[in-house]
Structure 1
Amino acid sequence: MSTASSDAAAQFSGRQQSALQRVQNALHLYPWISPLVILILSFIAFTILNPRFATAGSMGLLIQQMAIVAALAIGQTLVILTAGIDLSVGAITVLAMMVMATLAKDGGMPGLLALIIGVGLATLAGLLNGILVTRMKLPPFIVTLGTLSIFTAIALLYSGGSSIQASHLPAFLNWLGKGFSIGGLRLTYGVLLVILLYAVVGFVLSQTAWGRHVYAVGDEPEAARLSGVPSRRVLLQVYTVAGFIYGIAAWALIGRSGAATPNAIPTANLDSITAVVIGGTSLFGGRGRLIGTLIGAIIVQTFAFGLSLAGVNQQWRLLAIGLLVIIAVSIDQWIRKVK
C-alpha cells in the first residue's frame, strides 16, 4: 500500500471514531490522565470549601501525611501490575519498624545496623510471599491474607504490643522525620526519600527489560512465558522488591510518627490499594504507570485532609473514598474494552 493510501486509511479510521472513543484511547495510552483531572478538581473544590486548604502550611502537612502511603503504594503497584495483590503491606511494614526500634532502643544497637536488619527482614517477608505464590502456586490474595495475620502476630509478640518513643531511639532512625522549609512549605527528608524511590522504580519499570517483563507477566502470563520471559522468577523478584520497599517505608514511618508502635498504620492495606487503583493501574495487571500511583496517593490524602478541614465526619470521608474506588475500577473496565 502506498504512503498516500495509508494516510487516507488513517484519516478514514480517525473519522470513524467518536469523541468518546478518542477519550477512551487516550486513557488507555495515558492512564494517569483521569486521576490527574480528579486531583485538580479536588484541589479546586476543597479550596472553595475552606481557603486554608491551599496554604503552604496545609500543603506541607498533606505531603508529609501522604508520603508513607505513597511509599507503600510503590510496592503495591509492582504486585498489582502482575495481576496480584498484597494484603500484607501494613503488617510487613510494622514488623520491620518494630524490629528496627526494639533492636536500637536505648543504645542497644547502632541505628544503621538496626535499619539493615529491619529492611532485610521486610525483604525476606516479601520473598516468602513470592515463594508461596510462585512455587506453591497459591493465589496472591490468599497468600498475603495469611501472611497478614502471621506478620502482625509476630510484630505484636516481638514488641510485646508496646510503643517505643523517639527519645529512646538513635538519631539515625529518627532522621527522616527532620526537614526544611521552602517559604511556608515544610518538607521532611522522608518525603525526599519517597520521591527518590518513585524516580528509581519508575525508571526501572519504563526503561529496563525487567520492567517490560513485569508488564508482560501481568498482561498475558502464558504468552510472556512462551516468548521466553521467566515469569516465575519475575514474580518472585516483584514480591521481594516490594518487601524491600516496605522496609524502607518502615524507616520513614518512624521519622513521621516520632515513635514505633504496632498500631501505626491500621489502614495501610486499604490506602495503598486505593492509591494504586485510583492512579489508573489495572487490577487485572499489565497496565498502569507509577506516576498515576503517586497522583492516586495524593488524591487519597487530599480527600481525607480536605474533608477534615471542611468539618465532614469520618463516615462521610470513608464513603467518598469508597465511591472513588468504584468509579476508578469502572473506568478501568471501560478502558480495557478499547480496540
Structure 2
Amino acid sequence: MEASLSRRLISTPVAGPLAALLLACLYFGLNTDQFFTGTNFSLIIQQVMVVGTLAIGQTLIILTAGIDLANGAIMAFGGIVMTKLAVESGLPALLAVAAGLAVCAGFGLVNGLLVTRISLPPFIVTLGMLNVAFALTHIYSGEQTVTDLPPLLTFLGQTFQVGQTNVTYGSLLTILLFLLFAYLLGSTAWGRHVYALGNNPEVARLTGIRTQRLTVGVYTLAGLVYGVAALLLVSRTGVGDPQAGQTDNLDSITAVVLGGTSLFGGRGMVLGTLIGALIVGVFRNGLQLMGVPSIYQTLITGILVILAVAVDQLSRRRTR
C-alpha cells in the first residue's frame, strides 16, 4: 500500500518541479543566513504573485496547445486604464477596476476570435497583440506614470500578520486563484474539455465539444485573469506604470513550463504552475542573497526553461 502510494506520488506531473523547488530551497538555505525566514518567504511570494497570476491564464491557453505572448502588455494596459480612470477621470475606484478587468478580458476575446474564426496561429495573433497593447498603453498614458491612487487600488498591497510575518492580501488572493483554477481544471466538465481540446481538437469536436466556443472562452477568461494581475501589480507598486510587464510574458511562460505543463497542450496542472513560479522566485531571491549579479539570474532561468522543455519532449517521445 505504501509502495503504491509512493509510486503514484512520484509519477504525478508536479513531482519533478516540487523536488526541484525543495532542492533549490535547501541549497539556498544552506548557503545564506536569511533564506529560511518568514520575512524572506513572504517577500518571495510577493515577488511572484503578479507573474504567478499571469501564469494562470497562460496555463489555460497552453493547455489548449496555444500560447500568449501579449499577456504582460495586456496587464500593463489594464493597469493604466484602472489608474487613469480612477485618478484623472474621477471614476469611482470600483468602476475603474471593473473597466480595467473588462478591457483585459476584451483583449482575450479578440485573441480567441482571431485564433478560431480566421484560424490564425496563436503565436502570430498574440505577437501582434503584444505590439498593439504596448502601443495603446503608451498612447493612453502619455508616457506618464499615474500616482496618488485611491485606497481601493492599493488595498491588495497592504499586509496582515501571520505570527511575526507580514503577508499581503494580494499574495492570499493569488493562492486562492490557484486553488480555484486547480478545482475548475481537475474537477469540472469544463476542465476535462480544456484538456481534451489540447490533446486532440478534432477528436474533441467529434465527441460533441464546441471547440471554437471553448477556445474563445479560454482566451477571454485568461484575459480576465490578466486584469486581476494588473490590479495586483498596481497594488504592489502603488502606481500605474506604462513601462510595466515588458518581460512578464516570458516569465509567465517560464513558470508554466517549469511547472510541468506541456507546450504541446493537453497535459499539465495549474498547481504545477504555482510551483514553477515559486522556482523562479526562489532562484532569483536566493541568488540575490548570495550576491550573484542579476544577469546570471536570467542566464540560469533560461537554462532551466530549456531543460524543462527538453524533459517534456523526451517524455512525449517515450509515450508514443
Paired residues of 1:106 and 1:170 also in contact (CA < 8 A): no
Distance 1:123 1:89 in 2: 11
Q: 2:117 matched to 1:120?
A: no
% identical aligned pairs: 49
Aligned-residue offset at 1:51: 1.7
Task: Please tell me whether Structure 1 or Structure 2 has the larger radius of gyration of its CA atoms.
Answer: 1
Residues 313-328 of structure 1 mapped to structure 2, 5 A cutoff: 313-328=293-308
The whole-number CA distance in structure 2 between the counterparts of 1:46 and 1:270 is: 24
Select the residue among 100, 115, 140 that pairs with 1:158. 140
**Secondary structure, counterpart of 1:163 in structure 2:** coil
* Of 99, 103, 106, the match for 2:85: 103
For residues 109-165 of structure 1, the C-alpha deviation after alignment (integer angstroms, 9 at most, x for no partner) is: 110000011100100000000000000100000000000000110011001011112
Runs of 4+ displaced beyond 3 Å: none
Equivalent residue for 1:90?
72
**Alignment of structure 1 residues 61-72 onto 2, 5 Å:** 61-72=43-54
Are 1:199 and 2:185 counterparts? no
- Cα–Cα, structure 1 residues 300 and 40, in superposed 2: closer, same or farther, change >3 Å? same
What is the letter of the counterpart of residue 125 of structure 2? Answer: V
Q: TM-score, normalised by structure 1?
A: 0.90
Q: CA RMSD in A?
A: 1.6
Tell me the distance in 2 between the aligned counterparts of 1:204 and 1:96: 25
Paired residues of 1:119 and 1:248 also in contact (CA < 8 A): yes
- 2:26 is the counterpart of 1:44: yes
User: Could you say which residue in structure 2 is the equivalent of 1:338?
Assistant: 319
Q: 2:162 aligns with which of 179, 182, 195?
A: 182
Q: Tell me if the contact between 1:110 and 1:170 (Cα under 8 Å) persists in the aligned partners.
A: no
1:283 is aligned to 263
Is 1:59 paired with 2:55? no
Q: 1:26-82 CA distances to partner (integer Å, 9 max, x unpaired)?
A: 76x511110000000000111112121111111111111111111000000000000
Consecutive unaligned residues in structure 2, runs of 5 or more: none
In 2, Cα distance between the equivalents of 1:141 and 1:278? 20
Aligned to 1:7: none
Q: Which residue of 2 aligns with 1:293?
A: 273
User: Equivalent residues in 2 for 1:235-254 (5 A)?
Assistant: 235-254=215-234
Deviation at 1:318, TM superposition (A): 1.1
Q: CA separation in 2, counterparts of 1:303 and 1:265?
A: 20
**What TM-score results when the alignment is normalised by the length of structure 2?**
0.95
Q: 1:338: how far off?
A: 2.8
Specify whether residues 333 and 26 from structure 1 end up closer, same or farther in structure 2 by C-alpha distance, changes over 3 A only.
farther
**Distance across 2 between alignment mates of 1:121 and 1:270:** 22
For residue 259 of structure 1, give the secondary structure of its aligned residue in structure 2. Answer: coil
SS in structure 1 at match of 2:167? strand
- 8 A Cα contact 1:275 1:297, kept in partner: yes
Deviations, residues 267-300 of structure 1 (Å, cap 9, x unaligned)? 1011100000000000000000011000000001
Amino acid at match of 2:233: L
SS at match of 2:52: helix
Alpha-carbon offset, residue 234 of structure 1: 0.9
1:80 aligns with 2:80: no
